[in-house]
Structures are given as structure tokens and as C-alpha cells.
């Protein structure tokens, strides 16, 4: 197990939910964190306060992950402020429920660009530093929807399934170079995102409750520490999908 003290992390969508908690959990391990937010600056600033109270450095950067040029700038800004990124958590995502009659081409493009293309672009921007130092951790927030379809719709399931291919592809190339690449597939974690899902979703979970953000952050920290797990999907799903 690696000691994470002194490492630097970039977490997209770190203003709330799973990303927020992961930022604070990594800070507890001695990691400096850069978080991005799309619109909720105030929420992001509360993360900065919490991280700094733990004695760690934090930068808060505005980013719409659908903007490739902005992604490059954010990585440069984060590295200028904190040093090279060691741990990347591709967390920003949207889940807009659609049934088969209401699903549009625009919904498809929104899901793919926000949930999948963004992860590719952030990895491409952050990877050179990791390769140069021979140490890196890339953690992609996927979903049980990639495995069982889920309740959001085909656009969301496809975007998250694509993350699994992305994870495998990078893991294969980077194995032996000190950089691990893994996915976490949660369901259903008690965040704003779950509030937008059809009612009755909790009834799908065998353990009978939603998961907590802390139960997901535990896995983020574990994957950040561990150098021998790569190309895997870790399920945090209350038994909804048993692999
Ligand atoms: P939330 O809706 O609570 O938070 C989403 C985060 O993503 C926010 O920080 C938001 O920023 C950011 N974000 C959304 N769109 C963009 C964008 N275009 N550009 C930049 N940032 C963006 O979601 P969760 O915390 O629940 O989910 C985190 C990840 O985990 C997502 O990828 C989600 O798909 C995945 N997941 C979650 C599950 C759950 O049960 N909660 C289940 C399966 C997967 P802002 O606050 O500024 O809007």
C-alpha cells in the first residue's frame, strides 16, 4: 500500500455528491486537491474550506467538462497551483432520465460528451506528467447502468459502458508504467443525482438502503493507494449487480 501523503489529486465535479466526499477523503490522506465545478461555486468553496481545515491545499476551478480546450487549461492551472497531478478522479457526470419515447439525439450527445468524452480528454491532459514520473492513479466513476441497463436510459448506460472500455484500454497501455486505471460502478448512492431518479428506485437495492458517499470514497482511497489493481471495475451497489 502506498502512502498518499504529499500526492496531488484532480477531481472533476468535486463540488458536491461523490466527488466532494472523495476530495475530502483524499485530503484526509494528506493529498492536495484540485476540484472542478460547473456552476455551483459556493458549494465548491465549502469543499475548499473543509480541505484547508485538514491542513491540505485546495484549488477550485470552474470547468464544463464538455469543453476540451477548457479541460487542458484546467489541468495546467491545477498543476501550476499544486504540482503535477498524481491521482485523477473522473467523476463529473449527468444522469437525465428518459424513456424510449422521449429520448432524443441531443440526450445521447449530452450523455456521451459529459460522461465519456470528458474522461478521455482529462486523462489525455493529465497523463504526460504521470508517465514522466512513473506513478499515477486514474479512477473513473462509471455506474451499475453499464452492467444492467439501469433506470436512467440507454444514453446513460452507453456512456458509462464506454467508460469501462476506456478504463481497460488505458490500463492495458499503462500497466508496467506505474499508472493504474480503474472504474468504480456505484448504485444507488445518496446524492442529488439519485433524487432525480424515478421513485421506487430504492426498492431495487438488495441491502434495502442507498449507499453513502463515504462508502464510495473508501474505494477511491483504496484504489489510490493500491498499485496492483488495474483494469478493474469495483462495484459499490448494495448487491444490485453481483458479478
Ligand atoms: P451529483 O449530481 O450529485 O454531482 C454531479 C457533479 O458533476 C457535480 O459536481 C456537477 O457540477 C458535475 N457536473 C455535471 N455536469 C458537468 C459538466 N458538464 N461539467 C462539469 N461538471 C459537471 O452526482 P453524484 O455525485 O451522484 O455522481 C458522481 C458520479 O458518479 C457521476 O459520474 C455519476 O454518473 C456517477 N454515479 C452516481 C450514482 C449515484 O447513485 N449517485 C450511481 C452511479 C454512478 P455542479 O455542481 O457545478 O453542477
pLDDT in tens, 159-210: 999 999 999 999 999 999 999 999 999 999 999 999 887 778 889 999 999 9
Share of the chain above pLDDT 90, in %: 94
pLDDT, residue 1, reads: 47
pLDDT, residue 2, reads: 64
Q: In the beta sheet, which residues pair with residue 184?
A: 141, 234
- Is the ipTM higher than 0.95? The answer is yes
Cell of 235: 462495484
Does residue 21 carry a pLDDT above 60? yes
pLDDT, residue 91, reads: 98
Q: Is 170 a catalytic residue?
A: no
The domain limits of the chain are: 8-236
Q: Which residue owns the Cα nearest ligand 1 atom 22?
A: 92
pLDDT, residue 148, reads: 97
Non-local (6+) Cβ contacts of 86 within 8 A are 7, 8, 9, 31, 130, 133, 135, 136, 137
Nearest atom of ligand 1 to the alpha carbon of 211? 40
Q: Which residue has the cell 473522473?
A: 90
Which CATH code is given to the segment(s) 8-236? 3.40.50.720
pLDDT tens per residue across span 134-144? 999 999 999 99
Ligand 1 binding pocket mutation candidate from 10, 13, 142 (most atoms within 8 A of CB) = 13
Distance 180 CA to ligand 1 centre (A): 23
pLDDT, residue 210, reads: 96
Lowest-pLDDT choice from 15-29, 31-45, 98-112, 198-212: 198-212
Task: Say how far apart CA 153 and CA 220 lie, in whole Å.
Answer: 26
Task: Say how far apart CA 44 and CA 161 lie, in whole Å.
Answer: 28
Amino acid at each position: 500500500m502506498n502512502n498518499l501523503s504529499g500526492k496531488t489529486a484532480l477531481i472533476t465535479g468535486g463540488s458536491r455528491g461523490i466527488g466532494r466526499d472523495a476530495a475530502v477523503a483524499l485530503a484526509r490522506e494528506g493529498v492536495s486537491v484540485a476540484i472542478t465545478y460547473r456552476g455551483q461555486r459556493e458549494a465548491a468553496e465549502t469543499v475548499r474550506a473543509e480541505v484547508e481545515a485538514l491542513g491540505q491545499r485546495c484549488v477550485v476551478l470552474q470547468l464544463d467538462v464538455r469543453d476540451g480546450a477548457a479541460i487542458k487549461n484546467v489541468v495546467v492551472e491545477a498543476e501550476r497551483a499544486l504540482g503535477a497531478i498524481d491521482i485523477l478522479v473522473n467523476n463529473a457526470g449527468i444522469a437525465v432520465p428518459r424513456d424510449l419515447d422521449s429520448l432524443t439525439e441531443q440526450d445521447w450527445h449530452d450523455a456521451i460528451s459529459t460522461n465519456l468524452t470528458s474522461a478521455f480528454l482529462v486523462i489525455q491532459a493529465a497523463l504526460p506528467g504521470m508517465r514522466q514520473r512513473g506513478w499515477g492513479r486514474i479512477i473513473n466513476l462509471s455506474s451499475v447502468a453499464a452492467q444492467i441497463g439501469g433506470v436512467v436510459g440507454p444514453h446513460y448506460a452507453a456512456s458509462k459502458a464506454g467508460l469501462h472500455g476506456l478504463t481497460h484500454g488505458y490500463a492495458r497501455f499503462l500497466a508496467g508504467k506505474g499508472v493504474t486505471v480503474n472504474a468504480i460502478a456505484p448504485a444507488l448512492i445518496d446524492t442529488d443525482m439519485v433524487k432525480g431518479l424515478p421513485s421506487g428506485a430504492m426498492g431495487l437495492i438488495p441491502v434495502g438502503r442507498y449507499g453513502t458517499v463515504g462508502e464510495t470514497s473508501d474505494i477511491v482511497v483504496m484504489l489510490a493507494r493500491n498499485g496492483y489493481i488495474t483494469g478493474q471495475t469495483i462495484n459499490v451497489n448494495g448487491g444490485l449487480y453481483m458479478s
